[in-house]
Chains A and B, each alone.
Chain A
Amino acid sequence: MYSRRNHRQSFNFLNFRFTKGLSPLLVGDSNILIEAIGLSKYYGRAVGIENVSFSIVKGEIVGLLGPNGAGKTTVMRLLTGFLAPSEGTARIVGHDTAEASLEARRRVGYLPESVPLYADMTVRQYLNYMGTLHGLAGAPLRSQVEETIETVQVSQFIDTLINKLSKGYRQRVGIAQAILHRPPVLILDEPTAGIDPAQVIQTRQIIRSLGTDHTVLLSTHILSEVSMVCDRVIIMNDGHVVADGDPSELAKGLAGTSRIQTQIRGPHEEIARALASVPGVRQVSREANQAEAVVNSYSIEVEQGKDVSEDIAKMVVGNGWALLRMQPDLLPLERVFMHLTEEETLADS
């Protein structure tokens, strides 16, 4: 929470620069399942989030990343209709979460951060109850409960009281109630927080598998989770979106250039000259202490947005040299995250 202030236009370029690839601007409106348009939430004079905009298209798994207090949970609560926005609009499958709240809520499965469950109910009683609230009844309710417990692998605990379950299994029951009514949109607030590593891996696999049938927005502060699970990342800091895009694109964009690491067998000087002549290559540096080596390692700096890997491969083969390795050297997501959130903090001060 921090004091209310004007939105910083100076950082908008990040949004523009990083919003590419699956950008909703490039697809039809019917593909947009989650939409935030200028969303703001004020708590008295304090700002929860301010002017947050993004769209998520069908089939995407998007990670909402940010430090504690960045506004991730507020965004999710606005999208699920738990809170009403002070300004702006949130839409789920085209339904305004404030104006057509029930329609929007029918289409969302939500797992809040604290995984609130009724501890005095069994898993079956709880899922039956939540299913009924979502309009299921009779045979469809029973079959969807059965299918769901299979999906999240809690069949063995179906008649166990929830207060007897470990945190990991409670997390799964939370995910089960979110997917029970087959919503097109899933909103999961820190779905792997506080569970053991083995269950984290299993939960990520479950989320990844859910991505085939659902559009998923999940929040996390575990950076590696974003790389493993998400197609796209939205980074928030101090109530604002500071970056939005493919995790690897974000790393490239931050650097202004991207870098390629390569190993080529052949005469060093000729290789270096040929690499430098490839269009899009800015600079070629050879790793140190290789004066007499036949296999040479190079770090190649490439202009942003250029894909030179094919040209390099053709050039090497055309000259009769051997291309032993070529891989992009991206900034780790951790560095992107630290850079963006620290830059914001510096701008504030």
Chain B
Amino acid sequence: MPIRKTLAIARKETQSYFVSPIAYVVALVFVSLTGYFFVDAMSSDIFPEASVNSYTGRSIFILALVGPLLTMKLLAEEQKLGTIELLLTSPVRDWEVILGKFLASLTIFGSALALTLVYVVFLFAFGNPDLGPIVTAYVGLFLFGAGALAVGLFTSALTSNQIVAAILSYGVLTLLTIIHLAADQVDGAMATFLNELSMVSQFEDFTRGILNLRSVIYYVSMIVVFLFLAVRALEFRRWK
């Protein structure tokens, strides 16, 4: 049954995250920085706001780093150690391998993100926040992070060097994060296109409490496209 194999891969990868320091370090850095952003916003003398906007807007730039760090080893290490040979000669489809590994990285990322819910608890304890924007912001963060993980998994399939994989995916994610800045330099349809392509532009509605279907489709498409590219990268190994 395909799903059983996918889940077996996901479970194995999730367990292996816990025996290496990378998951702990990434979670610690993510939670610490978002915590700093939260405290920084709450201690503002000007106009403290009972919302999560204060840290979600800045957190997406951390996610552009968290994605590559969590995914860099997933396929690069298999290639370096040679375990990819056993994985790809067992009766498992390439997409099952990719999906299993993606689910594992999503589990770790989701857990780190869940830790930040403690800030929401504080908001409710000491303020009267609007639940809607908080929910949409977390949906947005989750989709943004999942997109970053998909990019990272794709670049991890391209090389046996984890550092190269991380740098490649960080480059792609940086480009997709700041590409809307290039929209200022052009006009018309191209400007619209570059704006629509930007992960930051697509994130804005989520922070405003709007669950924009177009933005959801953007992130889901991004995940599907990069996972598909990762599958093709594995297939390409057989033919090169």
Contact = CB atoms under 8 A, between A and B. Distances in A.
A285 interface: no
B8 A120 contact: no
A168 interface: no
A88 to B, nearest CB: 14
Given A116-B81, A116-B85, A133 B238 contact: no
Contacts of B81: 116
A82 B89 CA distance: 6
5 contacts: A43-B240, A83-B239, A84-B238, A117-B83, A118-B16
Given A81-B238, A114-B82, A116-B82, A108 B89 contact: yes
Q: How large is the interface on B (under 10, 10 to 19, 20 to 34, 35 or more residues)?
A: 20 to 34
A81 B238 CA distance: 8
A134 B91 CA distance: 6
A337 interface: no
Interface centre among B5, B90, B93 (most CB of A within 10 A): B90
A77 B4 CA distance: 26
Q: How large is the interface on A (under 10, 10 to 19, 20 to 34, 35 or more residues)?
A: 20 to 34
Nearest to B90: A133
A316 interface: no
A112 B79 CA distance: 13
A50 to B, nearest CB: 17
B8 A82 contact: no
Contacts of A102: 91, 93
Contacts of B9: 133
Contacts of A83: 238-239
Given A116-B82, A116-B83, A116-B84, 9 more contacts: A77-B85, A81-B89, A84-B239, A105-B89, A105-B91, A112-B82, A132-B4, A134-B90, A135-B5
B89 A80 contact: yes
A121 B18 CA distance: 12
A89 to B, nearest CB: 15
Interface in B1-56: 1, 4-5, 8-9, 12, 16, 19-20
A129 interface: yes
A193 interface: no
Interface string B81-114: 1111111111111000000000000000000000
Contacts of B82: 112, 114, 116
A106 interface: yes
A106 B91 contact: yes
Interface of B is mostly: helix
B86 A177 contact: yes
Nearest to A98: B238
A140 to B, nearest CB: 13
A137 interface: yes
A110 interface: yes
Given A112-B82, A118-B16, A132 B91 contact: no
B86 A112 contact: yes
A186 to B, nearest CB: 12
Interface of A is mostly: loop
Contacts of A135: 1, 5, 91
A295 B88 CA distance: 64
A130 interface: yes
A130 B90 contact: yes
A120 B20 CA distance: 9
A218 B5 CA distance: 28
Interface in A20-45: 43
A120 B89 contact: no
B93 A129 contact: no
Given A83-B238, A117-B83, A118-B16, A132 B8 contact: yes
A119 to B, nearest CB: 8
A133 B88 contact: no
Contacts of A105: 89-91
Contacts of B90: 105, 130, 133-134
A27 B22 CA distance: 56
Contacts of A120: 16, 19-20
A118 B90 CA distance: 15
Interface in A92-111: 102, 105-106, 108, 110
A84 B19 CA distance: 35
A35 B240 CA distance: 22
A129 B91 contact: no
A28 B193 CA distance: 63
B86 A116 contact: yes
B176 to A, nearest CB: 32
A118 B5 contact: no
B201 to A, nearest CB: 41
A105 B86 CA distance: 10
A77 B237 CA distance: 12
B74 to A, nearest CB: 13
B83 A82 contact: no
A124 to B, nearest CB: 13
Contacts of A117: 83
Nearest to A86: B239
A82 B238 CA distance: 6
B144 to A, nearest CB: 30
Nearest to A189: B85
Contacts of A177: 86
